[in-house]
Amino acid sequence: MPISRVRWSGNLARVTDAKMPLRAKVASSVSRTAAALSRAAGRGDGSVIGGWLGLKIDPELLAHLSAGRAIALISGTNGKTTTTRLAAAAVGVLGRVATNSFGANMPTGHTSALAKAGSTPYAVLEVDEHYLAQVIEATDPHVVALLNLSRDQLDRAKEVAMMAQLWRAALARHPDIRVVANADDPMVVWAATPPASHDQRITPPHVTWFSAGQRWHDDSWVCPECGSTIQRSGEQWWCTGCPLRRPEPQWTVDDEGVVDPTGAWYKVKLQLPGKVNVGNAATALAVAAEFGVRPFDAVPRLGDVTSVAGRYAQVVREGRTVRLLLAKNPASWLEAFDMADEAPTLLSINARDPDGLDTSWLFDVDFAPLRGRLVLITGDRAYDLAVRLEINDVPFQYVRTFDEAVRAVPPGRLEVIANYTAFQDIRAELDRVN
């Protein structure tokens, strides 16, 4: 059955169950019920199983649920969960926003989030970078935000260029989508620029560039357009063999605040730590602006966001204030060091399937910022971490468990930086703090 597309045109679009075909209504209802049952059974938030069942009944369910909503998709390797949370808060100025706030960022998660939210005029969805092209086709978004592309695991290194190619092809098929893209990431700039416009100094009218102060550059020394070397000087970068270069960003970060395209500066007071999150806030404001939200109205809402799917959550344990930071790849380790206070720090590393089995990426991370802090290590691959810290000249102490770490530090703050499954383990120990 063809899906009637109601493109958002600045008015509040209305989406009601009544407009959906019967199969989609049944699928949507089954999806909601399954998710609720799964939650009741204590198996997480149920969004994956609910969405999976819904899509089994109606493979077009995501498209049906998207019709009539004004949607923003947020994708990239790092920062997408937090940016999605902040952008949903910002777009909330206009009305109710559906969002996949638990990080279930594949089509099953999107389906479930939209079914659960019922009819909302807006949706802000985090999208796994591998699924962006597919989700663009299904949801016909108003805005797509491209945050960055860096390798997530060593064994996936080649995928960065391939992913940029897929993004670029998907956006070229939908030239009416507004794109909010990171000017500091050559891969993203290339992906956001239509293949026809060879001169990247001319920004296509539907692209808005932001600069969020990206630190990680090691994945983009080779130009995706021509294969020549990319040179950097300060914040500028340019290809030595073709016109690809850093575009002038319209949204920037400056001195704990965000500068909008008119040059106005807004103080951004967040409950989330680090400069990285001020950058995420700039991106969120740029996304919301595409819906007509003024930064002035959105900024106070960003300050209400406390934790994001357990990240940055603080809990008190035996007189220690424990804060959890997730670091899943070299780029996000650097960000975590920036977010962490100068305090005793526990590092935990696993190398199970979701983490990637190879830990040699540890040698791409400079742990020197941790010198002078009390550093504790744990996790399945603590030994690999020990070798790395030894070579990096960072003294450390091994602990077997999280509880042992808590007892090993004086009362006060304990920062915990962990990779994916290690983070989940510690969260489970803390009774799923949120």
Q: Which residues are annotated as a binding site?
A: 223, 226, 239, 242
Question: Hey, what are 432's tokens?
Answer: 């799923």
Nearer to Zn ion among residue 192 and residue 414 (C-beta): 192
Residue 229 interacting with Zn ion (CB under 5 A) = no
How far, CA to CA in Å, does 214 sit from each of 117, 126, 275, 380, 387? 33, 19, 10, 30, 28
Cβ 199 to Zn ion, closest distance in Å? 12
Cβ 222 to Zn ion, closest distance in Å? 9
Exposed (0-12), middle (13-18) or buried (19+): which is 210, by Cβ within 10 Å?
Answer: buried
Binding site residues for Zn(2+), as ranges?
A: 223, 226, 239, 242
Which residues partner with 172 through β-bridges? none
Q: Which helix (H) or strand (E) holds 385?
A: helix 382-391
Start-to-end CA span in the chain (Å): 41
Tell which one of 241, 319, 354, 372 touches Zn ion (CB under 5 A).
241
Nearer to Zn ion among residue 189 and residue 365 (C-beta): 189
Active site residue 358: yes
Tell which one of 212, 244, 276, 418 touches Zn ion (CB under 5 A).
244
The number of residues that bind Zn ion (CB under 5 A) is 8
Tell which one of 12, 36, 157, 226 touches Zn ion (CB under 5 A).
226
Cβ 227 to Zn ion, closest distance in Å? 7
Nearer to Zn ion among residue 27 and residue 239 (C-beta): 239
Tell which one of 60, 225, 380, 404 touches Zn ion (CB under 5 A).
225
| Choice among 155, 218, 297, 358 that is catalytic | 358
Question: Hey, what are 354's tokens?
Answer: 């979701």
- Distance between CA 318 and CA 303 in Å, rounded? 28
Residue owning tokens 């290690």: 422
3-state secondary structure at position 386: helix
Nearer to Zn ion among residue 228 and residue 401 (C-beta): 228
Give residues 119-148 in contact with Zn ion (rule: CB under 5 A): none
Choose the binding region for Zn ion from 74-82, 101-109, 147-155, 227-235 (rule: CB under 5 A). 227-235
Secondary structure of 202-236 as H, E, C letters: CCCCCEEEEECCCCCCCCCCECCCCCCEEEEECCE
Give residues 194-223 in contact with Zn ion (rule: CB under 5 A): 223
Tell which one of 3, 93, 242, 315 touches Zn ion (CB under 5 A).
242
Which residues partner with 118 through β-bridges? none
- Distance between CA 166 and CA 68 in Å, rounded? 26
Cβ 359 to Zn ion, closest distance in Å? 33
- Distance between CA 370 and CA 367 in Å, rounded? 6
Tell which one of 239, 325, 336, 362 touches Zn ion (CB under 5 A).
239
Residue owning tokens 């819906």: 291
| Alpha helices, H only, 262-374 | 274-289, 295-302, 330-339
Choose the binding region for Zn ion from 44-52, 59-67, 106-114, 232-240 (rule: CB under 5 A). 232-240
Supply the residues annotated as catalytic: 358
What is the contact surface with Zn ion in residues (CB under 5 A)? Answer: 223, 225-226, 228, 239, 241-242, 244
